[in-house]
Copies of this chain bind each other. A is one copy, B any other.
């Protein structure tokens, strides 16, 4: 019950606007008592108790997937306790889950259904902010926040990882866990963290409690995908794992098999390999995106339509079919930081002098992509001072509402720096957490009204307009910048004939064809 004030009334504001009063210590104790009794009932029935630490984007889906696992008779295998912090910033997550509501907005309705079903019908999902909850569990899954301080690092030395929150979370588990419980780190962490950060903390806390038994600890990173198959991705995506010893490895495999597709499980030789796997796969994707960005700049200057060329190359199945298309940039929580975690772990946890020069350069190239788009906008506008530019699309990929590290954020900042007055549209995002000062307009026609220029920054389905519809929406004399191949050559022709100028990222051929106005 650490860190709780028993006096002033405190509130926690959820992103959807709901306000939750943070309960008093007595109230928390009382409701925790209920949770503990329900967990014990489940265990007496032969099931296991799983605590999920952190009810964010991954933890919420993980809690739902684990709670949804049933045995041959359709009975829940696990009783799941979601645990988060009783702080203003976090309490609402536990409150929502405990009320049977998904704490994250997602186009995947099955996540809402699964949480409601588990909390309200099956009764095997509860949430709490009381850390003694870890003491109920046979398995504790760590899904807490772990981030870098800045995503733009010019050198390995500039990378700073904030481990304090993670370490405190692991320490809370060590203080309360059952001696024979398994701790599974699912959070994406720097290489070496499981063995060299989490293990010593757990051992220290257990030793202080007089526990002699070796700690059971494993790494099993997640591949949760935002979008319509969000919950299903937890169950069916292949998953790598490794324990710190044979017993931990056996236990984590059994646990993963209880709710995930057993055919997709992949055992690695040690936890560092598992940690590295996650960082390597995301770095590969980020590097492939940076690769095409570099060629995008070349294609634009020499007047080539790179989309067409990439299409012609992607026919090479198995070697080239994952070549990326030009685009405004790359965002999200992972691709913008995981390479930094790898480098930081090598430097600080392994004391290695290895430097991922090219991988780190790729992150910088990706960060520069929206800045380049702002340049295209500036060029078309002939200067942005006091020009009204409307940016269409705020989320970091199409048709989701996740705005974390969205390249639109960088683009908007750069347009403002260049003097533009910026409006934003998005069909799904209602509150833009990173830019609460900007109103996100939901109606496209209304958003574009009075614009001097329009930027399509995310390929949302709503932007699939006919050339004529588009020409009607875009004010006369305005310019259009296409960040994601939303506008075809035919669109560009119609817009051009109707007096609008166009530029497209990776569409250098529009200059040659006269659809790109040069000043």
Contacts and interface: CB of A to CB of B under 8 A. Distances in A.
Given A304-B272, A312-B240, A354 B298 contact: yes
Given A302-B346, A304-B273, A291 B323 contact: no
Nearest to A240: B312
Contact of A308 (B273, B302, B361): B273
A295 B223 CA distance: 21
A4 B315 CA distance: 45
A82 interface: no
A235 interface: no
Nearest to A241: B312
**A interface SS class:** helix
Nearest to A315: B238
Contacts of A301: 346, 350, 352-354
Contacts of A303: 272
B362 A312 contact: no
A391 to B, nearest CB: 26
A168 interface: no
Contact of A312 (B266, B302, B311, B354): B266
Given A269-B509, A272-B302, A313 B357 contact: no
Nearest to A192: B302
A34 interface: no
Contact of A268 (B291, B312, B315, B352): B312
Interface stretch (A108-116, A202-210, A281-289, A495-503): A281-289
Nearest to A311: B266
Contacts of A284: 288, 291, 313, 320, 323
Contacts of A316: 223, 238, 281
A153 interface: no
Interface string A398-418: 000000000000000000000
A474 interface: no
A434 to B, nearest CB: 26
Contact of A277 (B269, B297, B313): B313
Interface string A133-160: 0000000000000000000000000000
Contacts of A308: 268-269, 273
Interface in A256-315: 264, 266, 268-270, 272-273, 276-277, 280-281, 283-285, 287-288, 290-291, 294-295, 297-299, 301-305, 308-313, 315
* Identical copies of this chain, number: 2
A397 interface: no
A356 interface: yes
Most B CB contacts (10 A, CB to CB) among A192, A264, A272, A302 go to A302
Contacts of A354: 297-298, 301-302
A456 to B, nearest CB: 22
Size category, A interface: 35 or more
Contacts of A305: 269, 273
Nearest to A293: B358
A438 B313 CA distance: 40
A477 to B, nearest CB: 29
B319 A319 contact: no
Contacts of A310: 280
A260 to B, nearest CB: 13
Nearest to A238: B315
A299 B354 CA distance: 9
Interface string A329-352: 000000000000010001000101
Interface string A190-203: 01100000000000
Contacts of A353: 301
A121 to B, nearest CB: 34
A365 interface: yes
Contact of A309 (B276, B297, B302, B313): B276
A518 to B, nearest CB: 15
A490 interface: no
A197 to B, nearest CB: 15
Nearest to A303: B272
A193 to B, nearest CB: 13
A355 to B, nearest CB: 8
Contacts of A272: 302-304
A319 B322 contact: yes
17 contacts: A223-B316, A266-B311, A266-B312, A270-B509, A273-B304, A276-B304, A280-B295, A284-B288, A284-B320, A284-B323, A287-B291, A291-B358, A295-B359, A298-B354, A301-B346, A319-B322, A361-B361
